[in-house]
Copies of this chain bind each other. A is one copy, B any other.
Amino acid sequence: MTQHSSKPTITAFETSPDRGRGLARDMRVRWALEEVGQPYDVRLVSFAAMKQPEHLSRNPFGQIPTYEEGELVLFESGSIILHIAERHPGLLPAAADTRARAITWMFAAVSTIEPIIIERQVAILNEGNEAWTKQRLPMIEHRIRARLGQLSQHLGDAEWLDGAFSAGDLMMVTVLRRMPGSGLVEEHANLAAYVARGEARPAYQRAFAAQLAVFEASSAS
């Protein structure tokens, strides 16, 4: 494993739109860094600064989180977490086949599950005042339910998606958390317990506290 000597720096929202509930994508990178015991620095960026050349040079799409480690600059939470997992033990199995399957779950989280959850969020936040949203929401939730039903079926009585806890679970738990109050995850007792198991991990709790502290500092000032 290549060990870079420098402490990495990630970016996060200066003013968290979720009011410290840990729903933004820096949460998953913080959690991964806590799981492997890697200290990190955080650079807070405002919504205005995210669209400026300095931040766009880190992420052309103007989003958080980004990850800087010496000369290396990465974006996309999935890519950042895979990078961390490749450099530290604790997030991916050592055996080639189980490792490949854990990475499959990372992609499933961001490519098969998260997009419909984001579509629901966009419908509520951006199109909440449109007349059609009341009719469209049940259609979106029908598609979310289909996916969660399949995920619940796969998980069954297992603790994690494929053997031991991995970066695939870390990604999936953070994705499933993005519908607070919807009750959709709670329709499957095993999925709700799965998310709770993730949230109970000490590394998760340290990461959650760190992002909450940012919100509390910003709202106190």
Q: Which residues of A contact B (CB under 8 A)?
A: 2, 56, 60-63, 71-80, 82-83, 96-97, 100-101, 103-104, 106-108, 110-112, 114-115, 118-119, 126-127, 130-132, 135-136, 139, 147, 150-151, 153-154
| The 9 A-B residue pairs with the shortest CB-CB distance in the complex, in nearest-first order | A132-B132, A115-B115, A60-B154, A76-B107, A79-B104, A78-B107, A110-B111, A79-B107, A72-B97
Q: Which residues of B contact A79 (CB under 8 A)?
A: 100, 103-104, 106-108
What is the copy number of this chain in the assembly? 2
A61 x B104 contact (CB < 8 A)? no
A147 x B112 contact (CB < 8 A)? no
Q: Which residues of B contact A130 (CB under 8 A)?
A: 132, 135-136
A76 x B111 contact (CB < 8 A)? yes
Chain B's closest residue to A126 (CB) is: B139
Q: Which residues of B contact A115 (CB under 8 A)?
A: 111, 114-115, 118-119
Interface hub of A63, A80, A115, A154 (most chain B Cβ within 10 A): A115
Cα distance A115–B126 in the bound complex, in angstroms: 16
Cα distance A126–B139 in the bound complex, in angstroms: 10
Chain B nearest CB from A115 CB (Å) reads 4
Q: Which residues of B contact A74 (CB under 8 A)?
A: 100-101, 104
Chain B nearest CB from A142 CB (Å) reads 10
Q: Which residues of B contact A119 (CB under 8 A)?
A: 115, 119
Cα distance A109–B136 in the bound complex, in angstroms: 26
